[in-house]
Amino acid sequence: MPEQMNDLEPDDGRWYPQAPIAAVGALVFKEGKILTIKRGQEPSKGKWSIPGGRIELGETAYEAARREVMEECSIEVEIERVLDAANNIIKYHFVIIDMLARYVSGEIKAQTDAEECKWVTPREMTELDLMPMLREMLTRQKLI
């Protein structure tokens, strides 16, 4: 990594990392609708996405997905399986494992990194200002 990058960018461990960062996304379904969040922080602040974030040390991808949904949207989910995986390599390098999940209990309420959260139909989701990687994954999986 060029020395100049360290001088120009904050060093929070995510920007121009030494190794990829493992993360999860949770595609949660309830009665045919998908749980979406409006991102409250970078990367992609203001874009619509699905709950997710970094996998913590000692945590499985399944545990991380459940935790992230609870932290961001205040609901319990059951993770069914791995749905997809992709790399986000720009200023960051995240390896994102998207998990398929189903709603179990609770009322959605935006918290932590989520500015807003709501349930939408797949058709409504196509009209949102989605993160490009999410739109690609949903299209690849024939969900939108």
Structure tokens at 30: 């309830």
**The whole model's pTM is what?**
0.85
Q: What is the tens place of the pLDDT at every residue in 103-121?
A: 999 999 999 889 999 999 9
Query: What distance in Å separates the CA atoms of residue 112 and residue 71, rounded to the nearest whole number?
Result: 6
Structure tokens at 94: 């995240």
Mean pLDDT on 80-87: 94
pLDDT at 2: 37
The pLDDT mean for the chain works out to 89
- Report all structural domains of the chain as residue ranges with CATH numbers, in order of start: 3-140 (3.90.79.10)
pLDDT at 12: 59
Mean pLDDT on 127-141: 94
Query: Where are the strands (E) in 4-144, listed by range?
Result: 21-30, 33-39, 48-49, 52-54, 76-89, 93-105, 114-120
Q: What is the tens place of the pLDDT at every residue in 6-37?
A: 444 455 556 666 788 899 999 999 999 999 99
Mean pLDDT on 48-72: 97
